[in-house]
């Protein structure tokens, strides 16, 4: 077990992508904690998906922040804008930075590569430069399970080679890890990368399968299940992701000496996943049951008539499966929310948000 070497008391914490799915839930967890802290969030509120959901998340944050005056500041801006970021670091001097801003989505990267280069490469470079010139105690950043590409060995371990990305999105996330390693080595920036595995939950991203399936079923449309239903995904509930991030934030990598007597960069990588991949057909069955229970869909809904089994899409992989042993060993933590429980919470939120 690692001993936490940071606390949040009286610290300023910068969360990028603060209106995003993971970012907003992390901000809420920080504000709901007992420490006296200040959270600064930045997000460009782009229209990759429905901005109303991003505003909904920000409204929830604002409601929490009202109980702690001065604890929250939101900046609408892009991390790809170096001037905006420099001014933010100059004014706020964050002690910890959690970079969750990124252009997400594997399939979108095939048709819109510019968005990924701007946000995931230029934006992340700007974050590293800011951390270099305004030293921070810990930089935590989002990587992705997509870096494992078409690796055949499962479960995926952080010790595995990740040199075969099957999408530009995956390539940008691998690039983030390499860039962070270089900056940790050159400028002794303590950094930890987190490879997230298929995050889901209430107020999630509409481009994710469970959300898109729900939208289509409600519109009486057919849902397409890729690889003829033979895909497996390590679905990870958002609260488990946030708990993992919080624990990692408190343990900043420290300088060490390697076996060759040379200094090692203060740099670590972890998987955060459920360590229990679910078959996509089983996942769809649980989702439909919970949508009926929540009253989103009627009890007599004909699901079989609304399913279409189709081949694998470009950029997709057949399985994601996290080896979380290092996360368990270092932090005593393993995600624990079951798929049915998580989808039930999503279905209840969906019914309320869309007033069904």
Helix (H, G, I), strand (E, B) or coil at 162: coil
Decide: 198 and 205 in contact? Cβ < 8 Å: no
Q: Report how far apart, in Å, the C-alpha atoms of 79 and of each of 6, 42, 88, 171, 303 are.
A: 25, 8, 10, 19, 42
Count of all residues that appear for the chain in the document: 356
- Inter-CA distances, 154 with 142, 318, 320, Å: 21, 11, 8
- Which regions of the chain does DSSP assign to beta strands (E)? 12-16, 38-43, 72-76, 96-99, 138-144, 191-196, 199-200, 223-225, 232-233, 236-237, 256-257, 263-264, 267-272, 278-279, 307-309
**Which residue in 48, 116, 156, 169 is the catalytic one?**
169
Burial tier of 80 (Cβ tally within 10 Å: 0-12, 13-18, 19+): buried
Active site residue 125: no
Residues annotated catalytic, as ranges: 169
């Amino acid at each position: 077990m690692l001993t936490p070497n940071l606390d949040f008391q009286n610290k300023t914490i910068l969360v990028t992508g603060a209106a995003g799915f993971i970012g907003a839930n992390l901000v809420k967890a920080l504000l709901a904690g007992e420490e006296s802290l200040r959270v600064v969030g930045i997000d460009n509120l782009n229209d990759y998906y429905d901005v109303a959901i991003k505003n909904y998340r920000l409204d929830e944050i604002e409601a929490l922040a009202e109980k702690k005056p001065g604890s929250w500041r939101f900046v609408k801006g892009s991390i790809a804008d170096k001037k905006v970021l420099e001014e933010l670091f100059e004014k706020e001097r964050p002690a910890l930075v959690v970079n969750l801003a990124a252009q997400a989505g594997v399939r979108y990267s095939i048709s819109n590569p510019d968005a990924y280069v701007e946000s995931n490469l230029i934006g992340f470079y700007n974050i590293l430069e800011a951390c270099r010139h305004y030293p921070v105690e810990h930089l935590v950043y989002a990587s992705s399970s997509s870096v494992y590409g078409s690796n055949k060995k499962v479960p995926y371990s952080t010790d595995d080679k990740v040199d075969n990305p099957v999408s530009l999105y995956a390539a940008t996330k691998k690039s983030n890890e390499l860039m962070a390693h270089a900056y940790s080595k050159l400028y002794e920036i303590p950094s930890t990368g987190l490879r997230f595995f298929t995050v889901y939950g209430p107020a999630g991203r509409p481009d994710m399968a469970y959300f898109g399936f729900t939208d289509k079923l409600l519109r009486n449309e057919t849902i397409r299940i890729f690889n003829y239903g033979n895909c497996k995904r390590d679905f990870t509930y958002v609260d488990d992701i946030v708990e993992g991030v919080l624990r990692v934030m408190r343990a900043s990598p420290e300088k060490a000496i390697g076996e060759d007597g040379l200094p090692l960069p203060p740099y670590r990588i972890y998987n955060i996943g459920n360590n229990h991949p679910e078959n996509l057909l089983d996942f769809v069955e649980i989702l439909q049951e919970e949508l009926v229970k929540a009253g989103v869909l009627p009890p007599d809904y004909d699901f079989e008539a609304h399913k279409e089994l189709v081949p694998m899409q470009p950029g997709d992989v057949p399985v994601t499966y996290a080896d979380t042993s290092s996360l368990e060993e270092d932090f005593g933590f393993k995600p624990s929310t079951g798929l049915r429980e998580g989808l039930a919470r999503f279905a209840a939120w969906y019914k309320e948000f869309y007033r069904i």
